[in-house]
Structure 1
Amino acid sequence: MTDDGAQAAVAARVPGAAALGLLAPPGAVVVPALRLADPEWTAQVLTARAARQRTADRRVLATLWWYSASSVLLTPVLAGLATGVRLSAELADTRLHLLGGGTPVAATTRAGQGDLVPELRTALAAVVSAVAEAGDMRERPLWAIATDSLANRLLAVGRAVGDVEAVTALAAPLAAAIGTPLPGPRYVDVSAPAGRTVRFTRRASCCLLWQVPHEVVCTSCPRRDPVQRQVLLEDLAERM
C-alpha cells in the first residue's frame, strides 16, 4: 500500500495525533491488516502473547487482543469522519503497526471512496470471526468490544479537537447504520469541579483484564456495581 497523504491530512487536524495512533512510530513492525482476519495468524499472536499476559486462557487472550487491536484499527476512519476526510476502512487498504511484544500502536490507511458503512461492517465481521475462532469463544462479546472501541475513539478525538459533543454525536448513527450484532454505543456525563461535566464511555463490554494475575477490575467496567462505578468516575473526572 502506498501512502497517498490522506491520513496525514487527518493527523494535521487532530492535536496529539501520534498519541492517538494516527501516526506510525519509527521502528514499528508493519503488518497488513488482512492478517487480522486470519484465524491461524491470530492464534499464533495469542500464543505469543500468553507469557506476557500471564495466562493461557484463550478467551482472555483473545478478548485482550481485540480490545487493543479494535481501538487501533478504528482510529483512522473515525478521526477522518470527525474531521471531514474520508479514509478507507477496508482491511486491504490498511496496515497495523506493532511495537515490541506485538502491541498494536497505530493503523494507517489511504483515502476511501463511497459509503464508509459497508466497509466498516465487512472489516469488523471478518476480524471478529477470526478472533472468535482463535480464542474459542462466541462472537457477541467481541462485537460489544467493537462498539466500545468506536465510542472510545470518537471520544478521544472529540477531546483532542475540543468538541466532544459534536464528535461523540457521530457514534450512535454510525453504529446503527452498521447494524446488528454491533450494540449501540453509550456515554455518561459526570459532574466535575467548576461546573464542568466530563464524558465517559458507558461500556457494553468487559476486557477481562481482571482475570489476569495481579490485575483489577477497570474503573468503567460494566461488571462493577453502578453506584461504585459512578463514584469512581466522579473521582476520575475531578482529576481531569
Structure 2
Amino acid sequence: MSTVPGTTLARPEWLTARIAEMGKSWGTSSPRIAGTLWWCMVASALVEPLARAAATGQLPPEPALDRMDCEIRPDGGVERVRIAAADAPDVARSAAVLRETLAAVIPAVAAVSGAGVPALWAIVADAMGNRALDAGDGPSGAELATSVGGKLPVPRFVTIGGRTFVRRISCCLVYEVPGCEMCTSCPKRPAAEREALLAKLAAGC
C-alpha cells in the first residue's frame, strides 16, 4: 500500500483516479456508484480514530487534513488514516476540526462522482455510529456527531435480538453493481424484511 498526505483527499484529479480504480475493482463504470462505495470506506477510516476515542473515554486526535496520512489500497480505497498527535488534545476542538475536514472533502467527492452531498454526509453518520459500536459504546458516536454538528446527521440505533445495530440512513449503492445485492441493513429494504434479516444476524444464522 502507498501513503499520501491527507490534503490529497481534496484534490479533484486524485479523487477521480482513485474512484475510477474503485469502479474497476467492483466492475462498475458509474462514477456515482464507485464514488459512493469509495466514500463509504474513506468515511469509516476518517471517523474511526475519533469514534474509538469517544467510545473509550480517551482524548481524540485532531483530524486536520494537514495532520494526517492515508494508507491507500490497490483498489484506490483508504485502508487507514493516521493522525499526528495534537499538542493539547481537546474534544470540542477535534469535533470542530473534523467538521472542517469533512466540509472540505465531501464537496470535492460529490463534484467528481456525481454523488449527492447530503448522501455523503449521511454515510459519515452511519460510519460514526458503526465505529463507535465496534469500540463498545454506540451512543458515544451519536454524542460525537452532535458535537461535530453542521451538516452531519446524528446516527440512530436499533436493538434486535439483543444486539444493537446502526439504523442506517445511508446507502452504499452496492446493489446497483452487477451481481451484487442490497446490504442486510440497507435503509432501502422494506422495514419488516430488514428487521427479519438483522434478527437472523443477531442469532448467528
Both structures adopt the same fold (TM-score exceeding 0.5)? yes
CA distance in 2, matches of 1:218, 1:136: 22
Q: 1:190 maps to which residue?
A: 160
Partner SS, residue 133 of structure 2: helix
Structure 1 residue 216: Cα displacement: 0.2
> Where in structure 1 are there 5+ consecutive unaligned residues?
1-27, 159-166, 192-196
How many residue pairs end up in the alignment? 200
TM-score, length basis structure 2:
0.92
CA distance in 1, matches of 2:115, 2:180: 22
Match of 2:31 among 44, 58, 61: 58
Partner SS, residue 200 of structure 1: strand
Q: How does 1:52-131 map to 2 (within 5 A)?
A: 52-83=25-56, 84-112=58-86, 113-114=89-90, 115-131=93-109
1:105-158 deviation per Cα after TM superposition (whole angstroms, max 9, x unaligned):
211112233311210100111111111011023211000001011111111111
TM-score, length basis structure 1:
0.79
CA distance in 1, matches of 2:148, 2:135: 20
Residue pair 1:60, 1:211 contacting (<8 A) in 2 also: yes
Match of 2:110 among 101, 107, 132: 132
Does residue 205 (structure 1) correspond to residue 170 (structure 2)? The answer is: yes
CA distance in 2, matches of 1:219, 1:176: 26
Partner SS, residue 165 of structure 2: strand
1:70-112 deviation per Cα after TM superposition (whole angstroms, max 9, x unaligned):
1011111221233313312111111111232223221111223
CA distance in 1, matches of 2:37, 2:51: 21
Partner SS, residue 135 of structure 2: helix
Residue pair 2:7, 2:66 contacting (<8 A) in 1 also: yes
Partner SS, residue 105 of structure 1: strand
Residue pair 1:73, 1:96 contacting (<8 A) in 2 also: no
Does residue 178 (structure 1) correspond to residue 148 (structure 2)? The answer is: yes
CA distance in 2, matches of 1:86, 1:177: 13
> Where in structure 2 are there 5+ consecutive unaligned residues?
none
Quote the sequence identity (%). Answer: 34
Max Rg structure: 1
CA distance in 2, matches of 1:54, 1:72: 23
CA distance in 2, matches of 1:177, 1:74: 13
Partner SS, residue 170 of structure 1: helix
Moved over 6 A (4+): none
